[in-house]
Structure 1
Amino acid sequence: MAHLHIRTADPSDLPILLSLYADMHDYDEQAGEEELSYAWKEIMDNPALMPFILEVDFVPVSTCMFIYVPNLSRGARPFGIIENVVTGKQFRNKGYGTALICHVLDCAWKKNCYKVMLLSGRKSEAVFRFYEQAGFLRGEKEGFIVYPP
C-alpha cells in the first residue's frame, strides 16, 4: 500500500514545485533564475503563504498554494485562497489531488477561516467535478479577473 505524506514546502523544494508546475499549463511564461529565487524567498519568508506538497512513497506528486488572508469582516475571521493546484500527469485520477485539497481545507478550518476560494482556468467538467467532490460549490459567487494591459 502506498504511503501518502502531505507537508508544507521547505526552502529546498523549489525544484520540486517547478517540476510539478510544468504539468499545470500547456504554456507558461518562463521566469529567470533571479526572479524565481526572489519570489521563492518571499514565499518562504511569508507565513501567510503555504505551498503544500503531497508525496507518495516519498515521490512528490501534487502541490497547491494556500494563502491565508486576515480579514476585518465576518467577525474578523480570515479567509483562504487556494492557487496553483497541480498533480503530475502520470499521477492523476488516483485521488491524490483530492487528498491534498481536503488536507489544505482542514488546515484552513483549523485557522478559523470562514471560507476558502479558488478559481480555475480550466473549462473541463471533470475539473469542476474534482473541486465539487472536495466540497467547493459552483455558482455561489461570480469570479472576476483583470490582467495588466
Structure 2
Amino acid sequence: MSEIIRYIQKHELKELLDLYKYLNKDDPDLIEDVELKKLWQEILEDPNQHYFVVDVDGKLVSSCVMVVIKNLTRSASPYAIIESVVTHPDYRKRGIGTRLLKKAQEIAREKGCYKIMLLTGRKEVIPFYENAGFECKSKTGLIIRFDGR
C-alpha cells in the first residue's frame, strides 16, 4: 500500500466531491458546471487555502482544508483554521487522518502560524483530534449558521 500526503490537484475535484459524501450525507450533490469549475479555480489560486489529501494507491481516501488567516495580534503572526476533515470509511482507524492533520500542522508552522483552530460538532471524534495534538480545554467555539442546518 502506497500512501502519499500532498496538495490536491486540479483534476481531482470529482474525487474530492465523492469523498465529501462521507462528510455530510445531507449535503446535495454539486454539479460540475461552469460556476463550480470557476470556484474551484479560485480556491486553487488562493495562496491561503490549502487542500490536503491522502492518496492511497492512486485513490483519494482522506482530505482536509486549512485556511491561513493574516493577523495583527500575536506579533502579526497568522493563524489557521482546519475544516472539512474526512476519511473514507474503508480507510478509518489506520492513522491516515492523524497523519493528514500532522501534515497540515507542519505547513501551518512553516507559514508562521501561532495556532490552528478546528471545530467539531461530534463528541465521538474528539479523541481522534486529541490524538492529532488538538485540545478541547483551550477555548469554546461558537457558531452562527446561515444555511438553516
Per the TM superposition, whether the score is higher than 0.5 is yes
Give distance in 1, aligned partners of 2:32 and 2:15: 15
Q: Deviation of residue 30 (structure 1)?
A: 3.5
**1:61 is the counterpart of 2:46:** no
Q: Deviation of residue 112 (structure 1)?
A: 1.1
Which of 129, 132, 148 is matched with 1:131 structurally? 129
Aligned pairs for 1:40-59 within 5 A: 40-59=40-59
Q: Which amino acid aligns with 2:39?
A: A
Give distance in 2, aligned partners of 1:27 and 1:122: 15
- Write out per-residue CA displacement over residues 56-76 of structure 1, whole angstroms, 9 at most, x where no aligned residue: 222211000010111110001
- Write out per-residue CA displacement over residues 94-132 of structure 1, whole angstroms, 9 at most, x where no aligned residue: 1100010001101111111000001112231xx100000
Aligned pairs for 1:48-127 within 5 A: 48-124=48-124, 127=125
Q: Deviation of residue 85 (structure 1)?
A: 0.3
Q: Which runs of 4+ in 1 moved over 6 A?
A: none
Give distance in 2, aligned partners of 1:16 and 1:104: 20
Structure 1 partner of 2:9: 10
Give distance in 1, aligned partners of 2:142 and 2:39: 25
Give distance in 2, aligned partners of 1:31 and 1:4: 28
Aligned CA RMSD, in angstroms, stands at: 1.4
Residues 72-81 or 3-12, more deviating: 3-12
Give distance in 2, aligned partners of 1:92 and 1:53: 14
- Give the TM-score, by structure 1 length: 0.91
SS of equivalent residue, structure 1 residue 75? coil
Give distance in 1, aligned partners of 2:83 and 2:36: 17
Q: Deviation of residue 45 (structure 1)?
A: 1.6
Percent of aligned pairs sharing the same letter: 40
Retained in 1: the 8 A contact 2:4–2:55? yes
Give distance in 1, aligned partners of 2:90 and 2:29: 23
Retained in 1: the 8 A contact 2:17–2:30? no
* Runs of 5+ unmatched residues, structure 2: none
What is the count of residue pairs matched by the alignment? 146
- Write out per-residue CA displacement over residues 80-104 of structure 1, whole angstroms, 9 at most, x where no aligned residue: 0110000001111111000100011
Q: Which amino acid aligns with 1:18?
A: L
